[in-house]
Amino acid sequence: MIRQAQLSILSISLLTIFAAVACTASPTPTPVLTDAVTPTGVLVFGDISDEAAETINGTQPIADYLAAQLGDYGISRAEVKIAPDLDTMVQWIADGEVDLYFDSPYPALVISQKTGAEPILRRWKYGVSAYHTLFFARADAGITTVADLQGHMIAFEESFSTSGYMLPLSYLLEQGLNPVSKESPEVTVAADEIGYTFSTADNTTIQWVVSGRVVAGVVDNVTYELFVPEETRQEFVVLAETEDVPRQLVLVRPGMDADLKAAIKSGLLTMDETEEGRAVLDVFLTTEFDEFPEGADAALARMRTLYDLAQSR
Amino acid sequence: MSEIEALKRPLALKLTATITIIVVLVVAIVTLLTIRRERQTFQAELEQQAALLVNTIAASSADSLYFLDADFLSDLMLDLGRFEVITFGRIYDEDGRIVADAFDQSILFSFDPDPFGLQLLQTGDTLFTWQDEQLIAGQSVIIGSEVVGAVSVGLPTAFLEPKIAAVRNQGIIIATIAVIIGLILALFFSRSITIPLQAMIQATQRIMAGDLTQRVDIHSKDELALLGGHFNQMTAQLQQTLEQMEQEIDERKRAQIALEAARDAAESANRAKSTFLANMSHELRTPLSAIIGYSELMLEQIELDDYDELEDELKRVIHAGEHLLMIISDILDLSKIEAGKMELVPETFDLTDFIESVAMTAQPLAHKKGNKLVISCDEALGEFYADRSRVRQILLNLLGNAAKFTDHGTITLTAAREQAATGSTIRFTVSDTGIGIPNEQMRLLFKPFVQVDPSSTRRYEGTGLGLAISHRFCQMMGGRIMVESEVGKGSTFTVDLPVAVDVMH
């Protein structure tokens, strides 16, 4: 919230400056107001973001597209609701205010665990169906394995991140190591511990490792390959890689009508088969939706194991 | 310079061209200075705005830089990048590495510090870098005494160009108008000078052609009007002077003509007189010589016959005849000289012998009135080339006058060779201790028929022609005759003659 306020102040300052120099500024997107209670005939998409406008603009087309196919089920339109945090979203889903929710496995499982929401499909986000986590460190730090991280501080992303928390934490635990949460990178780490602190973002994690603020960090393999330049990767050493997990899960609220759920599932699975559907998927940064290859139960079982490991800390 | 050459570059053209060039230069300089000043103003404003922006970003990013919150810094820069007015935006960590960029995410996560980032970290002030199409402003971010990073943004300069172009176009329009006005004023100014000058040139040309009635009419109330007034005054004075001169010339011409007529008449009369005198003298000498001759024969016969009663009368007749003959001879010589018929016969002779001969002749004359004759000559006078008889006549005339006007005194004759600038001369002097000559009479001394005292003609026998003839002979031989005298003490006559007389004289 503090960061958002800072950015708002900066934006106002910029607008003032640009007005003074008679320059044109980009219009600020108008936030979409959502109702506190889901009205009858409305399909509600939910998301957690600190950039509500951007998220709504990216989600509203797919919501409208899907709603248009659900007229037989009393759905006439769609809305997008943005929650500032996970707890709010848990509350909204539990209360039936949000019908559909998309997220990576760990927060999805948290919500599912707390609300009874049901994972129905896998989402290919950014063209990726699954991903995993990399442990990396500066090559000149003298660290070559995760075991070498004992007594050092490493950077995780945030506490509800799949690749930045659940996967690396469970990996370290399964390796028999002792990861301990720390408030900041400067806190002392005991020799038998692997201290971890939250950077809040993958790019911050990478910068912390580059600048030496922490000896190692974790990011998902897609981020690592897409955003870390080759020259920098030459200066890093990858200590370990976790197993793959689905990139994102599609959750439907508990208690949803079976026919409606089936219709939603069908609509999402077939979106990539039409031109209009693919255009909507592009806006939603999604390639397609599919079933869990190994079956929903098997896939969710392993993820729940990892989830439980993470929750145990 | 000829008129044609002068008109090749007329004054009006020069003035107009000069003033126009000055106006164009001044307007161009003012326009350029204005454009430059406006450009500087725009640049200063843009720098001020860039500084404000970079200050705001620095304040917004300070906390995140302290914690190296790269995500927030990236969001900050990406948000900035969405504003189309910035062209550049970066945030650097405390080591100068780029941790956020508004447009290019591929340059993030580098291990190498950015040179500009390092420069900003070392500088407390806001740095400005003007590039082709943007202004880069940057500054370090300081918390307390710790430099935690730096920020930089770029603002486009493209919008400056239309503003500067507008000022430039405005300047060009104003400059064009100023040049046109300047050109018109230059033409007006140059014509206000050249038209009066052309009027004066035309008036001058007509005056040169002889029309002195020309006047110029200038009403400009300036120096040209003053010049025109002076020109008119000068012309009027010139006209008046010329008219006076013409009148005087006419009068002088008439006087000259009368004078020439009088001179011709006088010369004609003089020549007639000289001719008459020469003829008359010649005619008188023959019977007079006969009278003298017969008188001398009669005197010889009387002396033989001892018939004494008529001896004195006959002597008087002979003396009077000889005196008359001398007068006639002098008149004849003077007449010949004035008629241009006297001719010199130069010869070379020994000067010492010549002086002795002259002295011997003059001796009786000097002794006649109890005077003493003194001869003083250089020992080696040498030879002298001149008309011997005329030189002798000059000296005897002077010695005769000295003897005539000196009573029981001393008469001195000297001769010496002198070296003058014009060559060697012979100087003769005849001095006496006689009655002297008054100053007022000196200027008449060498005029014919003049004696110092008119009464002396009777007291001192003589024609009054001797000095005039001597003076003329001296002139004919290229010499001169001078006199110094004091009444009661005597006179000194000096004759200078060239050693070799030029007959042409």
- In sequence order, the 6+-apart residues with CB closer than 8 A to the CB of A63 are A43, A45, A78, A79, A80, A100
Residue B423 exposure: Cα atoms within 13 Å on the Cβ side: 8
Question: Which candidate, B406, B395, B330, places its Cα nearest to that of B362?
Answer: B395
Instruction: Please judge whether A204 and B69 are an interchain contact, meaning their C-beta atoms are less than 8 angstroms apart.
Output: yes
Contact in structure between B105 and A202 (CB atoms under 8 Å): no
Chain A: residues touching B (Cβ < 8 Å): 3, 6-7, 9-11, 13-14, 17-18, 20-26, 199-204, 206-208, 210-211, 213, 227-229, 231-232, 235
Task: Tell me which residue of B353, B453, B370, B378 sits closest to B410, measured CA to CA.
Answer: B370
Nearest chain B residue (CA) to A232: B110
**Joined tokens for residue B231:** 């020109």
Residue B111 and residue B143 in contact, taking contact as beta carbons nearer than 8 Å? no
Task: Locate all alpha helices (DSSP H) within A140-189, ordered by sequence.
Answer: 167-174
Do A257 and A122 have their domain in common? Answer: yes
Please compute, for residue A293, the number of CA atoms within 13 A of its CA located in the half-sphere on the CB side: 7
Residues A81 and A149 in one domain: no
Distance CA B489, CA B436 (A): 6
Name the domain count of chain A.
Answer: 2
Q: What is the DSSP letter of A28?
A: P
Q: Flag whether B390 is in a domain.
A: yes
In a domain, A5, yes or no: no
Same domain (yes/no): B436, B453: yes
Measure CB to CB from residue B57 to each of A10, A203, A213 and give the nearest one. Answer: A10
- Give the Cα separation of A204 and B71 in Å (integer): 5
How far A230 CA sits from the closest chain B CA (Å)? 10
The vertex-B230 CA angle with B224 and B232, nearest 5°, equals: 105
8 Å CB contact of A13 and B53? yes
Residue B457, both tokens? 């003609």
DSSP conformation letters of A11-73: HHHHHHHHHHTT---PPPPPPPP--SSPPTTEEEEEEE-S-HHHHHHHHHHHHHHHHHT-GGG
Q: Give residue A260's pLDDT.
A: 94
Alpha-carbon gap, residue A127 to A287, rounded angstroms = 5
Chain B, 73-92: which have a CB under 8 Å from a chain A CB?
Answer: 74-76, 79-80, 82-85
The residue from B342, B363, B391 where one domain ends is: B342
Query: Looking at beta carbons, which residues of chain B come within 8 Å of A155?
Result: none
Nearest to B376 by CA among B415, B321, B329, B408: B415
Q: Which of B163, B179, B201 is the last residue of a domain?
A: B163
d(CA B121, CA A254): 56
Inter-chain CB proximity A14 and B159 less than 8 Å: no
DSSP run (H or E) holding A233: helix A230-235
Nearest CA in chain B to A184: B67
Domain match, B361 and B482 both: yes
Please check whether residues A141 and A232 belong to one and the same domain: yes
In a shared domain, residues B336 and B348: no
Question: Per the structure block, which two tokens stand in for A263?
Answer: 């219709």
Q: Look at residue A259 in the predicted model and tell me its pLDDT.
A: 94
Q: How far apart are CA A123 and CA A105, in angstroms?
A: 11
**Tell me, what CATH number does A205's domain have?**
3.40.190.10
Q: Is B349 on the interface with A (CB under 8 A)?
A: no
Tokens of A19: 């007005």
β pairing state of A153-156 and A100-103: unpaired
Measured from the Cβ of residue A32, the count of other Cβ atoms closer than 10 Å reads 15
**Token couple for B456:** 């002396």
pLDDT along chain B (505 residues), means of 10: 59 79 85 86 91 93 93 91 86 95 91 94 90 92 93 89 83 84 83 81 85 82 82 87 88 90 83 73 80 85 80 82 81 79 88 91 88 88 89 92 91 90 88 90 77 54 79 90 92 92 62
Does residue A263 fall inside a structural domain? yes
Q: Are residues B286 and B375 in the same domain?
A: no
Q: In chain B, helix, strand, coil percent, each to 5?
A: 60, 15, 25
What is d(CA B137, CA B150) in angstroms, rounded to the nearest whole number? 11
Mutual angle of helices B351-368 and B388-404, in 10-degree steps = 30
Copy the structure tokens of residue B390.
Answer: 């005329």
Which of B289, B323, B342 lies at the terminal end of a domain, its last residue? B342
The pTM assigned to this predicted structure is 0.57
Scored b (16 or more CB within 10 A) or e, B332-342 reads bbbbbbbbeeb
DSSP assignment letter at B404: H
CATH code of the domain containing B398 = 3.30.565.10
List per-residue pLDDT tens for chain A, 313 residues long.
344 444 444 554 554 444 444 333 333 333 333 444 444 589 999 999 988 999 999 999 999 999 999 999 999 999 999 999 999 999 999 999 999 999 999 999 999 999 999 999 999 998 999 999 999 999 999 999 999 999 999 999 999 899 999 999 999 999 999 999 999 999 999 999 999 999 999 999 999 999 999 999 999 999 999 999 999 999 999 999 999 999 999 999 999 999 999 999 999 999 999 999 999 999 999 999 999 988 888 888 998 999 999 888 7
Report the C-alpha gap between B102 and B112 in whole angstroms: 19
* Residue A23 domain flag: no
Extract the tokens encoding B15: 């003035």
Three-class secondary structure of residue A255 per DSSP: coil
In this structure, is residue B175 part of a structural domain?
no
Is A159 inside any structural domain? yes
CA separation, residue A87 to residues A47, A58, A98, A249 (Å): 12, 22, 13, 18
Whole-angstrom distance, CA of residue B55 vs CA of residue B126: 9
d(CA B400, CA B377): 19
B330 and B390 belong to one structural domain: no
Beta-carbon contacts of B138 under 8 Å, excluding residues fewer than 6 positions away, are B54, B116, B120, B126, B127, B129, B150, B151, B152, B153
Q: What is the pLDDT of residue A34?
A: 40
Query: Secondary structure of B84-131 in the HEC alphabet?
Result: CCCCEEEEECCCCCEEEECCCHHHCCCCCCCHHHHHHHCCCCCEEEEC
Nearest by CB to B76, from A7, A206, A235: name it: A7
Residues of chain B in contact with residue A227, where contact means CB-CB under 8 angstroms, are 105, 108-109
Verify that B278 and B359 share a domain, yes or no: no
Query: Which of the listed residues A199, A219, A242 is the one where a domain comes to its end?
Result: A242
Same-domain status, A294 and A164? no
Q: From the CA of A99, how many Å to the nearest CA of chain B?
A: 30
Q: What span, in angstroms and rounded, lies between the C-alpha atoms of B400 and B362?
A: 7
> Rounded to whole angstroms, how far apart are CA atoms B213 and B109?
103
What's the total number of domains in chain B?
3
Type of residue found at A147: A
Residue A177: both structure tokens together:
């190591």
Q: Is residue B405 domain-shared with residue B376, that is, in the same domain?
A: yes
pLDDT at B453: 55
Which pair of structure tokens corresponds to residue A27? 């219009």
Cβ pair B377, B355 in contact under 8 A: yes
| Structural domain boundaries, residue A158 | 133-242
Chain B (23-52) residues lying within 8 Å, Cβ to Cβ, of chain A: 45-46, 49, 52
Q: Chain B residues with CB inside 8 Å of A210's CB?
A: 97, 109-111
Torsion of CA B465, B471, B476, B481, to 10 degrees: 160
Between chains, do A25 and B46 touch, taking CB under 8 Å as contact?
no
Domain that holds residue B249: 215-342
Nearest alpha-carbon partner for B368 in B393, B324, B399: B399
- In sequence order, the 6+-apart residues with CB closer than 8 A to the CB of A291 are A121, A122, A269
Same domain, B276 and B353: no
- Asked if the structure places residue A14 within a domain, the reply is no
In this structure, the number of other CB atoms found within 10 A of the CB of residue B462 comes to 20
Q: Cα separation of B6 and A222, whole Å?
A: 92
Q: Specify the amino acid at residue A134.
A: L
The pLDDT, as a whole number, for residue B6 is 55
What's the angle, vertex CA A233, arms to CA A229 and CA A238, rounded to 5?
Answer: 140
